[in-house]
Amino acid sequence: MGSTGIVFEGVRKEYPDGTVAVGSLDLEAREGEILALVGPSGCGKSTTLRMVNRLVEPSAGRIAVAGSDVMDQDPVQLRRGIGYVIQHVGLFPHRTVAQNVATVPGLLGWSKADSQARVEELLDLVGLPVGEYGTRYPHELSGGERQRVGVARALAVRPPVLLMDEPFGAVDPQGRRRLQREFASIQKDLGTTVMMVTHDIREAVLLADRIAVLSRGGVLEQLGTPEEVTENPANDFVEDFLADFDVEPRQAEG
d(CA 115, CA 99): 10
Type and span of the H or E element at 211: strand 210-215
Q: At what angle do helices 143-155 and 173-190 cross, to 10 degrees?
A: 10
| Local structure of residue 41 (DSSP, 8 states) | T
Q: Give the nearest distance from C-beta 6 to ligand ADP in angstroms.
A: 16
Q: In the complex, what is the shortest distance from the CB of residue 131 to ligand ADP, in angstroms, rounded to a whole number?
A: 38
Residue 214 CB, shortest distance to ligand ADP, in Å, is 7
Quote the CA–CA distance of 246 and 55 in Å, as a whole number. 34
- Distance, in Å, from the CA atom of 60 to the CA atom of 195, rounded to the nearest integer, reads 20
Helix (H, G, I), strand (E, B) or coil at 126: coil
Q: How far is the CB of 20 from ligand ADP (least distance, A)?
A: 8
Angstrom distance (rounded) from CA 169 to CA 143: 10
Q: Which of 6, 34, 46, 97 binds ligand ADP (CB under 6 A)?
A: 46
Could you give the string, one character per residue 25-44, with x where binding to ligand ADP holds by CB under 6 A and - elsewhere? --------------x-xxxx
Choosing from 25, 38, 47, 123, the residue that interacts with ligand ADP (CB under 6 A) is: 47
Supply the minimum distance, in Å, between the C-beta of residue 217 and ligand ADP. 8
Residue in 10, 19, 124, 129 binding ligand ADP, rule: CB under 6 A = 19
* Choices 11-19, 61-69, 85-93, 132-140; region in contact with ligand ADP by CB under 6 A: 11-19
Q: Which stretch binds ligand ADP (CB under 6 A): 13-21, 73-81, 117-125, 224-232?
A: 13-21
Give the count of residues interacting with ligand ADP (CB under 6 A): 12
Q: Is 30 exposed, middle or buried (0-12, 13-18, 19+ CB in 10 A)?
A: middle
| Residues whose CB falls within 8 Å of the CB of residue 107, separated by 6 or more in sequence, listed in order | 80
Answer yes or no whether residue 21 interacts with ligand ADP by CB under 6 A. yes
Smallest distance, Å, CB 22 to ligand ADP?
Answer: 8
Helix, strand, coil shares of the chain, percent, nearest 5, are 40, 25, 35
Which of 202, 207, 160 is closest to 180 using CA atoms? 207
Q: Does 17 bind ligand ADP (CB under 6 A)?
A: yes
Is the dihedral angle over the CA atoms 179, 193, 254, 205 positive or is it negative?
negative
45 lies in the binding site for ligand ADP (CB under 6 A) = yes
**Whose Cβ is closer to ligand ADP: residue 44's or residue 233's?**
44
* Nearest distance in Å: CB 87, ligand ADP: 12
For residues 219 and 234, which CB has a smaller minimum distance to ligand ADP in the complex?
A: 219
Contacting residues toward ligand ADP, per CB under 6 A: 15, 17, 19, 21, 39, 41-47
